[in-house]
């Protein structure tokens, strides 16, 4: 089972920042935090990942707390097309697969 | 942008029939995966494949399932005798390296309906 906890749903106004939290209190030192999303019934889409430091790319920012027990995905200016289910995944070392939980259903509202 | 391609997009099959789902991973990728998602449920891992052999599989991936990379481009999932509960979206994915170092790219899925 996924070792993360996410709120089941969130709303965000279009144009505002969407902040999606994730708890991963059992994470160990060499495990990455990954974020994927699934728009409607499409295939999951990679967003961002990190280990210890905060990360930013063209899609989002990832803020990881110093103790690494939680993280926040930030979509800086949410659009209607960002409406999706967002999955926070802790990836264990080695050749282990992605394990998806239930994620957070983000609804961006006009 | 390179992408993972899955065919067909929708397949309807009768219970008990064999079905083969096809995937063309990104050309230089080395790791391949199948996932499924029953309507309204989580995305579930089925199997991972590397160097022409299964590297990991879930409890779902029983003897009814098999995977194959018959040539340098295709990656297939075969279900030998389909059951009603096999109805789901099946997603293929590929990655350049181990997932701890890179991202997985998913196809758009094949919707399998068993009647």
Q: Which band of pLDDT confidence, cut at 50, 70 and 90, is reported for residue A93? A: low
pLDDT (0 to 100) of residue A94: 65
- Contact call for B104 and A98, based on CB within 8 A: yes
Question: Do B13 and B113 form a contact (C-beta atoms < 8 A)?
Answer: yes
- Check pLDDT > 80 for residue B5: yes
pLDDT (0 to 100) of residue B75: 97
Question: Do B114 and B83 form a contact (C-beta atoms < 8 A)?
Answer: yes
> Tokens 């590297």 belong to which residue?
B55
B72-76 mean pLDDT: 91
pLDDT (0 to 100) of residue B101: 74
* Interval A41-72: pLDDT, tens: 899 999 999 999 999 999 999 999 999 999 99
Question: Do B65 and B49 form a contact (C-beta atoms < 8 A)?
Answer: no
CA dihedral A5→A6→A7→A9, nearest 10 degrees, is -140
Output the six-digit token pair for B28. 């230089």
Sheet holding B19-24, edge to edge: B5-7, B19-24, B75-79, B65-68
Contact residues, chain B to chain A, C-beta under 8 Å: 4, 31, 33, 35, 37, 42-45, 48, 50, 55-56, 89, 91, 93, 98-100, 103-109, 111
Output the six-digit token pair for A81. 């097309």
Which stretches of A1-110 are assigned E, i.e. beta strand?
Answer: 9-13, 18-23, 32-38, 45-50, 55-56, 61-64, 70-75, 84-91, 104-109
CA distances from A54 to A64, A70, B66 (A): 6, 12, 40
- Check pLDDT > 70 for residue B115: yes
A105 inside 8 A of chain B by CB: no
* Interval A76-92: pLDDT, tens: 999 999 999 999 999 87
- Check pLDDT > 90 for residue A95: no
């Amino acid at each position: 089972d996924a070792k993360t906890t996410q709120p089941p749903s969130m709303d965000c106004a279009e144009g505002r920042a969407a902040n999606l939290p994730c708890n991963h209190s059992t994470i160990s030192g060499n495990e990455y935090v990954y974020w994927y999303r699934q728009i409607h019934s499409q295939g999951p889409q990679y967003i961002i990942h990190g280990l210890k430091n905060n990360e930013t790319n063209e899609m989002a920012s990832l803020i990881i707390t110093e103790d690494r027990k939680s993280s926040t995905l930030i979509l800086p200016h949410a659009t209607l097309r960002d409406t999706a289910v967002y999955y926070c995944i802790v990836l264990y070392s080695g050749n282990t697969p992605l394990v998806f939980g239930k994620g957070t259903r983000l609804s961006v509202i006009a | 942008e390179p992408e993972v391609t899955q065919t067909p997009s929708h397949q309807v099959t009768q219970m008990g029939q064999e079905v083969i789902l096809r995937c063309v991973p990104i050309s230089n990728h080395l790791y391949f995966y199948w996932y499924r998602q029953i309507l309204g449920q989580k995305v579930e891992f089925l199997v991972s494949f590397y160097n022409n052999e299964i590297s990991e599989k879930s409890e779902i991936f029983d003897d009814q399932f098999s995977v194959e990379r018959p040539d340098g481009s295709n990656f297939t999932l075969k279900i030998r005798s389909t059951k009603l509960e096999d109805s789901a979206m099946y997603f293929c994915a590929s990655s350049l390296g181990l997932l701890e170092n890179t991202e997985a790219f998913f196809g758009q899925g094949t919707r399998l309906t068993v009647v």
